[in-house]
Amino acid sequence: MGAPSRRRTRTSGAIATLTILLAGGLTALGSTTTPAGAVVPEPPRPAFYEAPATLPAANGAVIRSEQVGFLLDPLDATSLVRNAQRVLYRTTNRTGKAIAASGTVLVPTTPWVGVGSRPVIGYAPGTQGMADRCAPSRLFSEGIEYEGLGIEGLLLRGYAVAMPDYEGLGTAGVHTYMDRVSQGRATLDVVRAAQRLSGTGLSSASPVGLMGYSQGGGAAASAVELASTYAPDLKVRGAVVGAVPADLTQVATNLDGGLYSAFAFFALRGLSASYDVDLSPYLNATGRATSDRVETECVFDLLNNAFVKSSTLSANGQPMSTLMAAEPFRSIVESQRIGTIRPTVPVLVTHSVLDDVIPYGVGRAMARSWCGKGANVRFSSNVAPLHVGGIVPQTAEALPFFEARFAGLPQLSNCWLL
């Protein structure tokens, strides 16, 4: 599948986005397959996203940057940002290898009127897909990046926003979707990159918040767990995480055969690439072709895999839950569990009891686990409709949460209720 056409109108992008949201999403099989760790050929990516032969020594170091058009809506009716930059920066993946990742740094035009330096929010995006063309740093210019809706309130308040594309999304390699460590590090390092980027007014003194929903909730939750050891230089004040896929076994079972089946296929492809596991022996011909195809898809292609049962793709006719219960997948999936490391800053966890993608119990169990380790956690339930609807109350609660944290006010934990 090719990159988005430059001739595509921004109005058509708005219609496409609206259609996906209303459908409930954030949103001829070939015979040629590739090993799990191999990259399915895609159209050449823009030169900006190509890493140099030698990377900088420090995590978060900016390799290059460029101004980018940033549209909060396809008609550019609410453009709040004039300093919008696409960045390529150094981060470290799960294996400890230095890699280049891309992202976006957004700084409001209005002066910061709060106490101290302008805060920066490390905003981890939700599921975008697997193809390079799905990277938010590319979609922002098209006015079809749905995370713009959540970012708008933060920019209006005067916060800067730093958003990663994650490992392999936009840049070389397979996107390691759902890799806990890789996603958390990419989120922390894009904040470092924002603080080092010239012309933003940000610095190492800038207070930091972390935020994300769904895949982004997992990335932000991982980031707040890792922050004290991986990025102790960052002045993290708190995190807001929603619909966190903290237990992939339960999530995959819930997704199987449903509207969001593609998310499970993304995870299988991404994690197998991260851990260098060849999926070919575990999949039948249709499964291998599906695995290849999802690497070329974005969340906008959600319906391509809707209601597909994983048992129809496996070599032995068993569902993905059975595959995940055996090695090497059992250990890989268990390594992605979130809630095992105590955050050292206050965390607000939100989850809709009506979530149809990430079971409500998964988010609640993660919060309870953090509480058991002595973390300052506030768990906020809501009854927003389905998975997509849950991002609305999270966004509403994030602003007062960050206001209080950046003002130095304590969070009142409700761990005693969990």
Res. 40 pLDDT band, cuts 50 70 90: low
d(C-alpha 277, C-alpha 43), whole Å: 25
Q: What is the mean pLDDT of residues 101-109?
A: 94
Phi-psi region of 243 (alpha: psi -120 to 50; beta: other; left: phi over 0): left
Question: Would the pLDDT of 31 be above 70?
Answer: no
pLDDT per residue over 159-201, tens digit each?
999 999 999 999 999 999 999 999 999 999 999 999 999 989 9
Q: How many CB atoms lie within 10 A of CB 416?
A: 6
Helix (H) or strand (E) holding 89: strand 81-92
Residue 164 lies in a domain: yes
Helix, strand or coil, per DSSP, at residue 211: strand
The tokens for 371 are 């509480």
- Tell me: pLDDT of 18 over 50: no
- How far apart are the C-alpha atoms of 134 and 361, rounded to whole Å? 30
Is residue 22 assigned to a domain? no
**What per-residue string of b and e applies to 20-40 under the rule 16 or more CB within 10 Å gives b?**
beeebbbbeeeeebbebeeeb
Give the per-residue pLDDT at 5.
Answer: 34
Reply yes or no on whether the pLDDT at 67 is more than 50.
yes
- Cα–Cα distances in Å, from 229 out to 212, 341, 342? 20, 11, 11
- CATH number, domain at 110? 3.40.50.1820
Query: Omega before 74 cis (within 30°)?
Result: no
In a domain, residue 92? The reply is yes
Q: What's residue 69's pLDDT? A: 77
Q: Is the pLDDT of residue 142 over 90?
A: no
In this structure, the chain runs to a length of 418
Strands (DSSP E) along 243-352, which ranges?
Answer: 347-352
Average of per-residue pLDDT values in the chain: 88
Sign for the pseudo-dihedral over CA of 357, 37, 162, 60: positive
Q: Please give the tally of structural domains in the chain.
A: 1
- Tell me the average pLDDT across 30-38: 42
Q: Is pLDDT at 122 greater than 60 in this prediction?
A: yes
Percent of the chain beyond pLDDT 70? 87
Average pLDDT, integer, range 390-417:
96
Is residue 138 assigned to a domain? yes
DSSP letter, residue 62: E
Residue 331's pLDDT is what? 96
**pLDDT of res. 32:** 34
Distances (CA, A) of 125 to 117, 136, 213, 233, 366: 24, 8, 7, 23, 20
Rounded CA-CA distance 136/127 in Å is: 10
Query: Which residue has tokens 């992202």?
Result: 103
Whether 11 has a pLDDT exceeding 60, the answer reads no
Per residue, what are the HEC states of 98-164?
Answer: EEEEEEEEEEECCCCCCCCCCCEEEEECCCCECCHHHCHHHHHHHCCCCCHHHHHHHHHHCCEEEEE
Q: What does residue 336 show for φ and ψ, rounded to 5 degrees?
A: -90, 0
State pLDDT tens for residues 293-351.
Answer: 999 999 989 889 999 999 999 999 999 888 888 999 999 999 999 999 999 999 999 99
Strands 160-164 and 120-124: parallel
Bridge partners of 67, per DSSP, are 85
Give percent of the chain with pLDDT exceeding 90.
Answer: 76
Give residue 355's pLDDT.
97
CA distance 140 to 134: 10
> How do beta strands 81-92 and 207-213 pair?
unpaired
Q: What is the pLDDT of residue 222?
A: 98
Residue 141 maps to a domain: yes
Contact call for residues 137 and 98 (beta carbons, < 8 A)? no
Rg (CA), the chain: 20
Burial of 44 (0-12, 13-18, 19+ CB in 10 A): exposed
Q: In the predicted model, is pLDDT for residue 126 greater than 90?
A: yes
- pLDDT above 80: residue 403: yes
Predicted structure pTM score: 0.89
Is residue 329 one of the residues assigned to a domain?
Answer: no
Does residue 104 have a pLDDT over 80? yes
**What's the mean pLDDT in 104-109?**
92
Q: Is residue 412 part of a domain?
A: yes
The pLDDT value given to residue 80: 59
Predicted pLDDT of residue 8:
34
Query: What's the pLDDT at 184?
Result: 98
Residue 113 domain boundaries: 55-248+338-417
Residue 309 in domain: no
- Give per-residue pLDDT as tens, 358-394: 999 999 999 999 999 999 999 999 999 999 999 999 9
